[in-house]
Amino acid sequence: MNNYDTICAISTSLGKSAINIIRLSGEDSIEIASKIISGVDIRKKEGGTITHAYIKENGNYIDEILVSVFRAPKSYTGENLVEINTHGGAYVTERVFDMLISLGARVALPGEFTKRAFMNNKMDLTSAEAVMDIVNANTRKSLDLANKALHRDIYNLVHELRGNIMDILLQIEVNIDYPEYEDEIEISHEKVKHDTSMLIDKITDLIDKAEVMRVYKEGIKTVILGKPNVGKSSLLNALLNQNKAIVTNISGTTRDIVEGKINIGGVVLHLLDTAGVRDTDNPIELIGIEKTMEVLNEAELVLLVLDTSAPLDAQDYSLLEMTKDKKRIIIGNKIDLHGKLDIVDIVNVSSVTKAGVDDLKKKIIKLFIDEDMEKDTEVAISSTRHIGLLKEALSSLKDAYESEKEGLYLDMLEIDFKKAYTSLGLITGEEATSDIVDELFKKFCLGK
């Protein structure tokens, strides 16, 4: 266990509730908490206990509490840790918190409790990240993914891959140490090439499956695009099943980005209704169109809405051309007006009657989720960071394989294998620098 100062944070959202939790961690956490707790001497309590007590200040009762004591190393952080359960309410909780700070505790940084757990070898980096993924989970599937990571499934998988690379590096070392055995050199070349090829296939498969799992975890950035008055806002309302966006017959009603969120089959769509795209001199409308172009660049899915009640015009064709390289679904809206567009693979809907909206939802899921691949996934990697590092490792292994095919000496390939080994180590934290660790935990909430 490292010797850190004692940190303190309110781990629950302030407000009227049954309880709030104040958490302290550090060598002096039990000693500091004992100075404001009456009715029991928690310094004499064993770890893993919870006790009824009171908070007093200058002899006056502040609150009736339950206090949990955990002793190092058997705690979440691996340090002495105290959790004080106060009655809910902002004033009483903040008063107790201020008392602890005045006695020598320091306000914890975002994610600092989990960071200490990582630094004290209570969990690897994938498990630490999973803690926040559980907090942020929006669906049952994203929660399942986070729990698998929390229980070291990803760590064990990556650790095995690193072991495979280390076996290759050891084979190369043997070749370097005994260069006089030509037969052994030939065997080494073939074995390294075979093992590298197997690793490339395995990591490629992992990345393909991870992209599917990432959708479950992070959702899909979805932009509803179209010219004015084609029914974009009506479609947003129909998908959300609520009147989120203002709908009128006046073109250009939507001037800013309107956001919404919907769960479709366990996948969250982050919906953005945008300003209608058209040629205009209106300065306010132009700002809205500029914002539309900005979010379009970041979109993972474009729902391009066309009006089936009128022929396509130059602006429609421009939008079709603009989005041809994006993952998109072309939607023919206003079928309740008995119109029809002759476009291949169009999804016809009515935002008013909601006809076809269920078909649209099914198409969205089919576009992003490969059910056969999902069923074949034992260990699910879903983090964008992890996927990026897997791709780095894959690139290094491909470089090594190509060099091997060209007949380069094995010792010249070591650098590529070591790069791959390091990239995978960054996933678990075994190769992580303090800067990387600090940046990751900044994304955590206070008290976690």
The average confidence (pLDDT) of the chain is: 84
Segment of 77-86, 220-229, 299-308, 362-371 carrying the highest mean pLDDT: 77-86
Residue 42 has pLDDT above 80, yes or no: yes
Mean per-residue pLDDT, 135-140: 80
Pick the residue with more confidence: 3 or 215? 215
Amino acid at 378: E
Neighbours of 38 (CB within 10 A): 15
Pick the residue with more confidence: 14 or 96? 96
Q: How confident is the model at residue 89 (pLDDT cuts 50, 70, 90)?
A: confident
Q: How far, in Å, are 140, 166, 300, 310 from residue 327 at the CA level?
A: 25, 39, 7, 25
DSSP state of 62: E
Question: What domains appear along the chain, each with residue ranges and CATH number?
Answer: 2-108 (3.30.1360.120), 132-215+383-442 (1.20.120.430), 219-373 (3.40.50.300)
Sheet holding 81-87, edge to edge: 37-38, 49-57, 60-70, 81-87, 19-25, 7-10, 106-107
Cβ-based neighbours of 107, under 8 Å, separated by 6 or more: 7, 8, 9, 101
DSSP 318-365: HHHHHTTTS-EEEEEE-GGGT-----TT-EE--TTT-TTHHHHHHHHH
pLDDT of 177? 57
Q: Are 217 and 249 in contact (CB under 8 A)?
A: no
Structure tokens at 283: 């300065």
Q: How confident is the model at residue 84 (pLDDT cuts 50, 70, 90)?
A: very high
Pick the residue with more confidence: 223 or 432? 223
Neighbours of 208 (CB within 10 A): 12
Name which of 87, 108, 119, 96 is nearest 18 in CA terms: 87
Q: What is the pTM of this model?
A: 0.73
